[in-house]
C-alpha cells in the first residue's frame, strides 16, 4: 500500500490590523497569508516573518485550534517563543519560553507568571 503525503489547500492567515470599522467593508485586506496549514504540527510552534519585520509564533493544539502570538520573549528579548513547550494551566493554553520558562497564555498573551507582562496576540484563521 502506498501512502501519499497529506496535502491541503488551506492557508493560515493573520489579521494584521484591528477589526474593520462598521460600514468599511469586509476587511479582507487586513489578513496576511503566513503559511500552508500542513506546516503546523499539534504541540509544536512555527515562526513566521511579518511584512513589517516582526516575527509571529504560530501554534496548533491537538483539537485543531490555532494561536498566534509575538515570537519575541519580553523577558530576554530573543525571538524564541515558537520554540517553547506548549501546555495547559487551569484550562488556559500556554507556551513556556525555552529560555527563562515564563508561560504565556496563547489566547490573551498574558504572562501567567508575571501579570504585568504580556505579548501581542493575533487573530488567526485557515482559509
Residues 18-61 have pLDDT tens digits of: 554 444 445 556 899 999 999 999 999 999 999 999 999 999 99
Mean pLDDT score, 83-101: 95
End-to-end C-alpha distance for the chain, whole angstroms: 31
Listed range (2-6, 33-37, 101-105) with the worst mean pLDDT: 2-6
7 confidence band (pLDDT: 50, 70, 90): low
pLDDT score recorded for residue 23: 44
pLDDT score recorded for residue 9: 75
DSSP, res 111? B
pLDDT score recorded for residue 39: 92
pLDDT score recorded for residue 16: 85
Check pLDDT > 50 for residue 2.
no
Q: Please spell the DSSP secondary structure of 32-62, one letter per residue.
A: EEEEEGGG--TT-EEEEE-TTS-EEEEEE-T
% helix / strand / coil in the chain, to the nearest 5? 5, 40, 55
- DSSP β-ladder status, 85-89 and 92-96: antiparallel
Q: Would you say the C-alpha torsion 95, 89, 87, 19 has a positive or negative sign?
A: negative
Amino acid at each position: 500500500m502506498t501512502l501519499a503525503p497529506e496535502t491541503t489547500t488551506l492557508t493560515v492567515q493573520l489579521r494584521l490590523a484591528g477589526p474593520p470599522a462598521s460600514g468599511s467593508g469586509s476587511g479582507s485586506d487586513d489578513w496576511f497569508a503566513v503559511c500552508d496549514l500542513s506546516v503546523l504540527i499539534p504541540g509544536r510552534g512555527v515562526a513566521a516573518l511579518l511584512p513589517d519585520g516582526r516575527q509571529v509564533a504560530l501554534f496548533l493544539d491537538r483539537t485543531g485550534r490555532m494561536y498566534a502570538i509575538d515570537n519575541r520573549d519580553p523577558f530576554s528579548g530573543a525571538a524564541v517563543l515558537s520554540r517553547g513547550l506548549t501546555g495547559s494551566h487551569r484550562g488556559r493554553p500556554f507556551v513556556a519560553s525555552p529560555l527563562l520558562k515564563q508561560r504565556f497564555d496563547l489566547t490573551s498573551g498574558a504572562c501567567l507568571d508575571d501579570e504585568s507582562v504580556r505579548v501581542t496576540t493575533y487573530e488567526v484563521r485557515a482559509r
